[in-house]
Chain A
Amino acid sequence: MPAAPVERLRVGVLASQGDFAAHLDLLAGLGAEAVAARVPAELAGLDALVIPGGESTTISKAIERDGLEEPIRAHFDAGRPILGTCAGMIVCDRDHLGLVDAVARRNAFGRQLQSFEADLELEPEAGIGPDPIRAAFIRAPWIEEHGGAVEVLARWEGRPVAIRQGNVLLCSFHPEIAGEQRLHALLMAMATAARRRGAEAVSG
């Protein structure tokens, strides 16, 4: 059987507010078709979605104002992956969109003067290799509490700062401003797997 033509992954970045441009550049560099998404139509038909850093109150209000919750939920329900960084972690938590069984604590590491960057080791289960990630924590949240289905991929001073539940990957820090590509590559690998599952479901 001839191999099916490989289509580029279409990865959306929620562009209501925040550093979405940095994510778009990074994803384009990894070969994805990177799309800024501000309205429901732009959230349809994505292989993966990034909810970027920014101000979580501003982004949450934009999601409500612009009717974005339903298309984000449809993306999630279809088993397509989501990466949330910093504000994106908060937006996905139990108190907001409820896509993971965890609660993020806003500004948990403090104000801007307490912002920091460090080499962060991820658990082997994260599947990104042994080298630490350069992680920039900017007025960053941490995971205050979570259920048993949540996998903790990294901790800083004992606090969960990277988690995964199913197809949702969340981190407190900003891989995108430190030029760190591996989490985005992981997101794209999850998207490829989701696409394969979708194709099997159709053909099977």
Chain B
Amino acid sequence: MPERATFRLKTGLAEMLKGGVIMDVTDAEQARVAEAAGACAVMALERVPADIRRDGGVARMSNPRMIEEIKAAVTIPVMAKARIGHFAEAQVLEALEVDYIDESEVLTPADEAHHIDKLAFEVPFVCGATNLGEALRRIGEGAAMIRSKGEAGTGNIVEAVRHLRDITGAIRRLHSLDEAELAAEAKELRAPLDVVRVVAERGWLPVPLFCAGGIATPADASLTMQLGAEGNFVGSGIFKSAEPERTAKAIVEATTHFRDAHRVLAASSDLGDPMRGDDIAELAADGELLQQRGW
């Protein structure tokens, strides 16, 4: 008998996205541009994070009709975002048959204490994390893919770098520990012991790790891959740049050839202006960091 929605199938789709770029798109036309540029998947949302940040108000799951139009426009996988803890939005997205759900801090959280019980769904989930403990809590809840949170909509890579370094550094540390030390470490990480054990043994997460939040240039994409990301999400960085089509192609090329500086150089030339970008300290002073949503 065929089995569906196994953990292997959920992580399996994320495995197939490795080495690729998942692009935020807000309509069918942008989705076609992303696919033509070589995106391995698109994230359908009404406003890119930079605009959500600018507009304020409550950011919710996108209009299902818009997601339908994007699904009809491309053959690559289509992801969509649900608010943290908003399992009813996730149920709607599952009914809509999106390929992946991002339980995302970019939208306004719906529950201040609980993330979505992702094991209750057949559709796979990706979740953001700022450190290893957070990543392992999400995996314990059923996430089949982890991405750094970074600081979405800023075009500033510094937070994603912090998150990737924290996650990969903590994995290396965990891998060096003795079995008897794992329970105390799990308590320290506030993460489920069984997931901690798996990571300690394998020396890597049991799910793919991507980078998200702040990628705006081909060099940013190369940086995150060299820091251990297995693929990249690019949000505002493409359709807020002067030349979205060329920027999209260039970031795809730099993600594949991330170790080849000559290729990254070639991809970086004649691109026009990247998105403008924000200073994180200024946003923090205004109390507007999206990465602090979720726990």
Interface residues of A (CB under 8 A from B): 15-22, 38-39, 53-55, 57-58, 61-62, 65-66, 86-87, 106-107, 111-118, 136, 138-139, 174, 177-178
List 5 additional A-B contacts (Cβ < 8 Å) besides A17-B20, A112-B77, A138-B9.
A17-B19, A61-B38, A86-B16, A114-B4, A139-B77
Query: How far in angstroms is the closest Cβ of chain B from A155?
Result: 14
Q: Does chain A have a CB within 8 A of B239?
A: no
Contacts across chains A and B counted by CB atoms under 8 Å:
111
Query: How far in angstroms is the closest Cβ of chain A from B255?
Result: 8
Q: A107-B75, A117-B8 are in contact. Are A112 and B99 (CB under 8 A)?
A: yes
| 3 A-B pairs closest in CB distance | A112-B99, A116-B2, A118-B2
20 pairs, CB–CB < 8 Å, chain A vs chain B = A22-B15, A39-B257, A53-B16, A54-B20, A58-B20, A61-B38, A65-B38, A65-B253, A111-B77, A112-B13, A112-B97, A112-B100, A113-B97, A115-B4, A115-B13, A136-B8, A138-B9, A138-B16, A139-B16, A177-B8
Q: How large is the interface on B (under 10, 10 to 19, 20 to 34, 35 or more residues)?
A: 35 or more
Q: Does chain A have a CB within 8 A of B107?
A: no
Query: Which of B2, B35, B97, B124 is in CB contact (< 8 Å) with A57?
Result: B35
Q: How far is the CA of A204 from the CA of B139 in the complex (A)?
A: 59
Q: Are B18 and A58 touching (Cβ within 8 A)?
A: no
Q: Does chain A have a CB within 8 A of B207?
A: no
Q: Are A55 and B41 touching (Cβ within 8 A)?
A: yes
Q: Are A58 and B40 touching (Cβ within 8 A)?
A: yes
Q: For residue B100, which residues in chain A have a CB less than 8 angstroms away from its CB?
A: 112
Q: A61-B38, A112-B124 are in contact. Are A55 and B20 (CB under 8 A)?
A: yes
Chain B interface, DSSP helix/strand/loop, else mixed: loop
Query: Which of B1, B4, B8, B256 is in CB contact (< 8 Å) with A178?
Result: B8
Q: Are A174 and B12 touching (Cβ within 8 A)?
A: yes
Query: How far in angstroms is the closest Cβ of chain A from B286?
Result: 38
Query: How far in angstroms is the closest Cβ of chain A from B102?
Result: 14
Q: Are A62 and B38 touching (Cβ within 8 A)?
A: yes
B94-120 interface bits toward A, Cβ cutoff 8 Å, 1 = contact, 0 = none: 100101100000000000000000000
Q: For residue B17, which residues in chain A have a CB less than 8 angstroms away from its CB?
A: 54-55
Q: Are A136 and B9 touching (Cβ within 8 A)?
A: yes
Q: How far is the CA of A87 from the CA of B257 in the complex (A)?
A: 20
